[in-house]
Amino acid sequence: MCSLPIPLEPLCRVAVTGGTHGNEMSGVYLARHWLRAPGELQRPSFSAVPVLANPAATAVCRRHIGRDLNRTFTNTFLTSKPTPDEPYEVTRARELNQLLGPKNSSQAFDFLLDLHNTTANMGTCFILNVTDIFAMHLCHRLQLQHSEPRPRVVVFKLSQEETFSIDSVAKHGMTIELGPQPQGVLQANLFSRMRSLVASTLDLIELFNQGTAFPAFEMEVYRFLSCTDFPHTEDGDLAGMVHPQLQDQDFEPLQPGAPIFQMFSGEDVLYEGDSTVYPVFINEAAYYEKNIAFMKTEKVTVSIPALPVLSPAPAH
C-alpha cells in the first residue's frame, strides 16, 4: 500500500474546517463559535486554526454557490489561471490552498479535520484516504473512544494527484461525517457529538506530539467501489426512487437480487451485481444534483503499521 509520509516530528499546524458545504449546520456553527472563542482548540503543543471554508454558501444556507467546493481541490483548479466567470468555489479553493497549503508542499498544514453532515443514515463516519497512515491511526483510536454507536470508516484509495477534497490540501487529513441531519437544520445531539469528536482528535494529536506510542493494528473499513445512479427517463427526468427496503440501510449488506429502486411505473429494479456490497450515502439529498442514488463499498480489513515514537514536543 503506497502511503503518505508518516510524520517524524510534532504536528504543530492543525486546522479544523466547517461549512465546506454551507447548509451542513454542525460544522458551520462550530466553526463560527471557535472563530469567536478559539480556546477550545488549544492544546499544549499546538492551537488548531478554525476556518469557515465556504462563507458565501453559509451566508445563504446553500451547499455551494457555483460548484461543490469539496470537489475543487484538484491540481487543475488550483493551478489554473483565474477567469472573470469562474465559479466562486474555484476562487475560494485557491484562497484556502494559499491559507492551508499549498497542496503537496512542505509549507502545507500538518493536519486538517473537515466537518460534515449528511441527510443519509450514516451515523458517525470518518472518511479518508487509506494511504494516510496517520489519519488511519486517529480513526482507530476514535473508534475505541466513541464506541456507542461505533463509528464506521470509509476509505478511498487515491494518489495525491487525484485527491479533490479540502483535507487533501494538508499533509494529513480526514472528514468527520455525521447523520442523518436535514440540510439547514441544527440538531443538538449531532452538534455535541461532533464537538466531542473534534476534541478527541486534537487530544490524540497532542498525545502523538508528546511521544505516545501508536502501535500497529488491523481495522475493518468500507472501501469505496463506485456510485450507482438513479434511473431516468429518456428526457432526463427521474424514473424511480430508492426502494423502501434499501432506504436507511447504510453500511448494511446488499445482496445480488435485492431491490434497490422502485420505479414510478410500479416495478422494482434489482441489484444486478455478482457480490455483496455495502451501500453508503443512500438517498443523500445533496447527491440528486450529481444523479447519485448511493455509493457502493466493500468491507475489508486493513493492516496499519506503527507510528514512530517522537520525543515530547515543547509547549508552544
Condensed to tens digits (0 to 9), the pLDDT of residues 2-51 reads: 578 899 999 999 999 999 999 999 999 999 999 999 999 999 999 999 99
The number of residues in the chain equals 316
Q: Answer yes or no: are the C-beta atoms of 179 and 21 closer than 8 Å.
A: no
Whether the per-residue pLDDT at 1 is higher than 90: the answer is no
Full-model pTM: 0.96
Which residues lie below 8 Å from residue 267, measured CB to CB, with a gap of 6+? none
Which residues lie below 8 Å from residue 290, measured CB to CB, with a gap of 6+? 227
Task: Write the CA distances from 20 to 29, 58, 79, 167, 224, integer angstroms.
Answer: 12, 9, 20, 10, 21
Q: Per the structure block, which three cell numbers stand in for 227?
A: 456510485
Whether the per-residue pLDDT at 287 is higher than 80: the answer is yes
Selected from 3.30.365.10, 3.40.640.10, 3.90.1170.50, 3.40.630.10, the CATH number assigned to the domain covering 14-220 reads: 3.40.630.10
Task: Answer yes or no: is 232 a known binding residue.
Answer: no
Whether the per-residue pLDDT at 193 is higher than 60: the answer is yes
Which residues lie below 8 Å from residue 165, measured CB to CB, with a gap of 6+? 70, 71, 73, 114, 175
Question: pLDDT tens digits for 263-273?
Answer: 999 999 999 99
Distance from C-alpha of 88 to C-alpha of 41, rounded to nearest angstrom: 29
Three-state DSSP class for 78?
helix
For strands 123-129 and 152-156, give the pairing. Answer: parallel
Which residues lie below 8 Å from residue 84, measured CB to CB, with a gap of 6+? none
Q: Which residues pair with 197 in a beta bridge?
A: none
Where would I find the H helices in the chain?
Answer: 25-36, 55-59, 75-79, 88-100, 133-145, 188-209
What value does the mean pLDDT of the chain take? 95
Place of cell 469557515: 52
Portion of the chain with pLDDT greater than 90, in percent: 92
Question: pLDDT tens digits for 194-209?
Answer: 999 999 999 999 999 9
Task: Answer yes or no: is 140 a known binding residue.
Answer: no
pLDDT average, residue stretch 65-88: 95
Q: Is position 9 annotated as part of the catalytic site?
A: no
Q: 315 φ, ψ to 5°?
A: -65, 140
DSSP label of 164: -
Residue 149, preceding peptide bond in cis (omega within 30° of 0): yes
pLDDT average, residue stretch 202-217: 98
Whether the per-residue pLDDT at 141 is higher than 70: the answer is yes
* Active-site residue (options: 89, 177, 206, 284): 177
pLDDT average, residue stretch 180-186: 98
Position 61 scores a pLDDT of 98
Q: Where are the domains of the chain?
A: 14-220
Tell me how crowded residue 248 is: count the other CB atoms within 10 A of its CB.
Answer: 14
Position 160 scores a pLDDT of 75
Question: pLDDT tens digits for 145-167?
Answer: 998 889 999 999 877 778 999 99
pLDDT average, residue stretch 93-121: 97
DSSP label of 63: S
Position 162 scores a pLDDT of 85
Distance from C-alpha of 68 to C-alpha of 87, rounded to nearest angstrom: 10
Task: Answer yes or no: is 146 a known binding residue.
Answer: no
